[in-house]
């Protein structure tokens, strides 16, 4: 069945280091979304990518959508303690309904001050 995977599961970085999480889908996606969930919080939408090869930037965050639309990445430059949280990618569930989004398992980022 359709799967969305993320690596790594956990990442510990020193403050100021860069961080990258990778998202891979077993099927081609029409779009991919990224969410951030702080510890004790709820998922917050970061960005959506739609086009093959698309790159979007939000300050220190860079998001990419692969050419085949089956993978994506989130890169954070010079991490800060405010970046701590779990980053989820999410893509449409293709089989049954237009309304369902399938979340990857997430990458948990810890930043050591």
Partner 1 sequence: DTEVTQTPKHLVMGMTNKKSLKCEQHMGHRAMYWYKQKAKKPPELMFVYSYEKLSINESVPSRFSPECPNSSLLNLHLHALQPEDSALYLCASSLGGAGYEQYFGPGTRLTVT
Instruction: Say if residue 45 is exposed, middle or buried (CB neighbours under 10 Å; 0-12, 13-18, 19+).
Output: exposed
Nearer to partner 1, 77 or 94 (CB): 94
Write the interaction track for partner 1 spanning residues 30-69; mark x where CB under 8 A is met and - where it is not.
xx-x-x-----xxxxx--x-x-------------------
- Give 97's Cβ-side CA count (13 Å radius): 4
Shortest Cβ 91–partner 1 spacing (Å): 8
Compute how many other C-beta atoms are within 10 angstroms of the C-beta atom of residue 18.
11
Q: Which residues of the chain form contacts with partner 1 (CB under 8 A)?
A: 30-31, 33, 35, 41-45, 48, 50, 88, 91-93, 96-101, 103-106, 108
């Amino acid at each position: 069945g359709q799967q969305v995977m993320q690596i790594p599961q956990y990442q510990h970085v020193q403050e100021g280091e860069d961080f990258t999480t990778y998202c891979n889908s077993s099927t081609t996606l029409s779009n991919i979304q990224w969410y951030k969930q702080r510890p004790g919080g709820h998922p917050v939408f970061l960005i959506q990518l739609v086009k093959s090869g698309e790159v979007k930037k939000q300050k220190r965050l860079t998001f990419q959508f692969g050419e085949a639309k089956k993978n994506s990445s989130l890169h954070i430059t010079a991490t800060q303690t405010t970046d701590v949280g779990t980053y989820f990618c999410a893509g449409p569930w293709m089989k049954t309904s237009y309304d369902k989004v399938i979340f990857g398992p997430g990458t948990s980022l810890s930043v050591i001050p």
